[in-house]
Structure 1
Amino acid sequence: MRGGTVAVVGGSIAGCALASAAARAGADEVVVLERTHGRLADRGLGLCIHDGRAAELAATGALPAGIAAHRLTRRRWVVRDDTAAGPAGRVFWEQPFPFHSYHWGLLWRGLREATPASVVYRQGAAVTGVAGDGERAEVRLAQGTAEAFDLVVGADGYRSVVREAVCPESRPAYAGYVCWRGNFDARRLEALGDGGWPAESVTTVCFGGGSCVIYRIPGPDGPRVNWVLYAMPPQTGRLPFDDPTSFPPGRVTEELAAHLGALLDREFPPYWARVLGLTEPADTFVQPIYDLETARTTAGRLLLAGDAATVVRPHNTSGAAKALQDATAFEDAWRRAGTWDELLHAYQAARGAAWREMVALARRLGRGQVEQTPAWAAMDHREAESWWQGQLGGAADIGGQAMTP
């Protein structure tokens, strides 16, 4: 199929990838509508992409070459042990971890720069509603204007405006726990000593009722340390976790900051508590954990991708790969389709089962690593391996599935 006009609502990772896919596939016009005015590249979060998924995505063009990445090979699971272990705790299990880590902003910048020149990227274009039941789709903008396209792609995240039109009954569901996230310049580690922490290793600190993943990522000014700590929030006070939201960097409440400090003092090996303590308040935030399954991801001339289509808890380490796979499936469906209806049907068929399985796996991982944690300190490596296979439930690995040719 050739020609047609496409609007992509949302200009972050999924939006750039879907816009590039539409342009490569042969759309006459592709417009990205991004509501923010600022620099998306300023987002400093870390993320990982499985080496197998990265190779597939590079081959399709969805993951451009040359984007800074940090190689990871091993994951060490650690518990506090005040009797037998040193300040870095006791490693009770190691497993292969074939991933590369990325800086969100640098990954977005690479995708943005790789977007074909024919794509129009409009910032400050806030979409307030869409409609797409007929032969065309309409986008309504905050300034009161409306624009028509042959297809509208919702890549506008877990609070998607486009999803409200496609599947209004589907909303993100709070998992009952949160994550504290942060990152800092890796050079700060020099003050602590290396703590036995190889640069290619991921450390997971385990404790009753939660866990924390710590690893290095590339940064605009050199390597950084990125961490994600999952645990139940404080039970006192009124924290707005019943609605998809977060406490952004610099705005974490005193209650949440104190709760994090108590967790580090009580549960962490001293070295790893000091590591997280190197993070500036301006680089720390709290994010409620949600997941989302949608009954449908296409309707009329509307299509959902990325977190607008499905939200997977971060334990699966698949968010970026999932968005780029959505773009790959979209481009492949476009090239095979003769009509818009065929395109939407093929896209849904290619991604629906994979989305459901990723959500299910991440829920199992959340139960095992936060909601119903085992007696980590009593495990040996054989018991840990058996526990992990139970978490996977038949999946080959975390990080997302291989795409079907």
Structure 2
Amino acid sequence: MRGGTVAVVGGSIAGCALATAAARAGAGEVVVLERTRGRLADRGVGLCINNERAGELGASGALPEGIAAHRLERRRWVVRDPEEAAGRVIWEQPFPFHSYHWGLLWRGLRESVPDSVVYRQGETVTGVAGIGTGTGAAAAEVRLAGGGVETYDLVVGADGYRSVVREAVCPESRPHYAGYVCWRGNFDAARLAEIGGGADPAADSAPDAVTTVCFPGGTCVIYRIPGPDGPRVNWVLYAPPPLDGRLRFDDPTSFPPGALTPELARQLRALLDREFPPYWGRALGLTDPADTFVQPIYDLETARTTAGRLLLVGDAASVVRPHNTSGAAKALQDATAVAGIWRRCDSFEELLRGYQDARGAAGRELVALARRLGRAQVERTPAWAAMHPRDMQTWWQGQLGGAPGIGGQAMTP
């Protein structure tokens, strides 16, 4: 199929990937509508992409070459032990991933967007609607905060967990709070020398290792990522919600990044002192308060990813708990699927049907897997200190429930 006009709502990772895919596949006009006026690349959180998924995405062109990445190879699960400053290892498993800095990944994707794509920042979309009904929809319109209305042959929702487009496609879909939170942070890896370099082999001589600190009611995943000014240590800590009556846990947007209050900082410090091996407690303490934040964990699944001339990709289509480390890969896979189907189809109706068939179930399956991971690693944690490698292997396979592993699924050719 050649020609046609496409509006991509959201200019983040999913939005850039989709705009590139549509333009390269043959769309006549592609416009990205991004509500943020400043630099999206200011976000400093880390993420991981499975090596096999990265290979597939690189071959399809969805993951450009040259984006800084840090190789990871193994994952060490540790518990607090009075004789081990960095904790006692209860299991080690392969971890074939590369880690990324969100901002650097977005920058690479943004720079790869073809010049033919119009990328408009400061454009807040307040609503979308199909023109026509059902499969007979002839187009879709976008309503902007400034009062303007624009019409396109296809509108793609790449606008994340608060998706305006999803409200039109699946108005019945709502986020489900998991009952726990995620503390996040990152700091300059060179600062590890301040707490006694050499105390922990994973931090010094083996930077290819991911460390997972295990404690009753939670886990914390710690790994290196590339940064704009050198390697950084990224950490993600899952635990019961902090005790603070001012905080709400029914709203996914209730915790703005960087808004760490003194009381929240005190509760985090108490958790580290109480549950973490001393080395890792001190390591996380190196994080600047401005780089530390907390957010409720929730997920969301949709019954469909298309409606009329509307289509959902990335977090707009499904929100998966981070345990599965599949978010970025899934967004890039969605864009890859759109490009592949576009090249084979003869109409937008065929494109939308093909995308629903190819990607409709993927998000729901990832949500289900991440829920199992969350239950096992946070909600119903085992007696970690009593676990042996064979116990851990059985426990892990139970979480997978037949899935080949975490990090997302291979795409069907």
**Structure 2 counterpart of 1:404, from 404, 407, 412:** 412
- Flag structure 2 segments of 5+ consecutive residues without an equivalent: 133-137
AA partner of residue 220 (structure 2): C
> CA-atom RMSD, angstroms?
0.9
1:269 aligns with 2:277: yes
Q: Partners in 2 of 1:33 and 1:67 — Cα distance?
A: 24
SS in structure 2 at match of 1:403: coil
- Counterpart position of 1:73: 73
Q: Distance in 2 between matches of 1:352 and 1:152?
A: 17
Q: Deviations over 1:313-351 (max 9, x none)?
A: 000000000000000111111112111111001001101
5 Å-filtered alignment, 1:248-287, equals 248-287=256-295
Q: Secondary structure, in 3 states, of the residue corresponding to 1:289?
A: strand
Label 1:204 to 1:394 Cα distance change in 2 as closer, same or farther (>3 A).
same
Instruction: Decide which of 149, 155, 158 is 1:155's aligned counterpart.
Output: 158
Aligned letter for 2:277? P
Of 179, 183, 188 in structure 1, the residue corresponding to residue 191 of structure 2 is 188
Task: Answer yes or no: is 1:352 the counterpart of 2:360.
Answer: yes
Shift of 1:9: 0.2
Shift of 1:256: 2.4
Is 1:301 aligned to 2:306, yes or no? no
For residue 246 of structure 1, report the CA deviation from its aligned partner.
4.5
Q: How many residues align?
A: 403
Q: Distance in 1 between matches of 2:9 and 2:257?
A: 25
Which residue is 1:91 aligned to? 89
Deviation, 1:258, is 2.0
SS at match of 2:229: coil
Q: Does 1:115 align with 2:113?
A: yes
Partner of 1:131: 129
1:236 is displaced (CA, Å) by 4.4
Amino acid of the structure 2 residue aligned with 1:54: A
TM-score, length basis structure 1: 0.98
Which one is further off, 239-248 or 121-130?
Answer: 239-248
Displacement of 1:81 after TM fit? 1.0
Change (3 A) 1:37 1:236: closer
2:51 is aligned to 51
Distance 2:278 2:177 in 1: 31
- Does the CA contact (< 8 Å) of 1:292 and 1:310 recur in 2? yes
Q: In structure 2, how many angstroms separate the alpha carbons of the residues matched to 1:181 and 1:21?
A: 31
Structure 2 CA distance for aligned equivalents of residues 49 and 9 of structure 1: 24
Alignment gaps of 5+ in structure 1: none
**Cα distance in 1, alignment partners of residues 258 and 402 from structure 2:** 41
2:301·2:319 contact (CA, 8 Å) conserved in 1?
Answer: yes
> In structure 1, how many angstroms separate the alpha carbons of the residues matched to 2:317 and 2:291?
29
Structure 1 residue runs of 4+, over 4 Å off?
A: none
Are 1:177 and 2:177 an aligned pair? no
In the aligned structure 2, how far is the partner of 1:363 from the partner of 1:384?
A: 18
Alpha-carbon displacement from aligned partner over 1:255-312 (angstroms, at most 9, x marks no partner): 3222211110100000000010000001001111110111111111100010000001
In structure 2, the partner of 1:215 is 223
Q: Secondary structure at the match of 2:81?
A: coil
- Equivalent residue number for residue 26 of structure 2: 26
Contact 1:249 1:281 in 2 (8 A): no
- Measured in 1, the distance between the counterparts of 2:237 and 2:264 equals 12
Q: Quick check: 1:234–1:255 contact (8 Å CA) kept in 2?
A: no
Equivalent position amino acid for 1:106 in 2: L
Superposed displacement of residue 133, structure 1 = 4.0
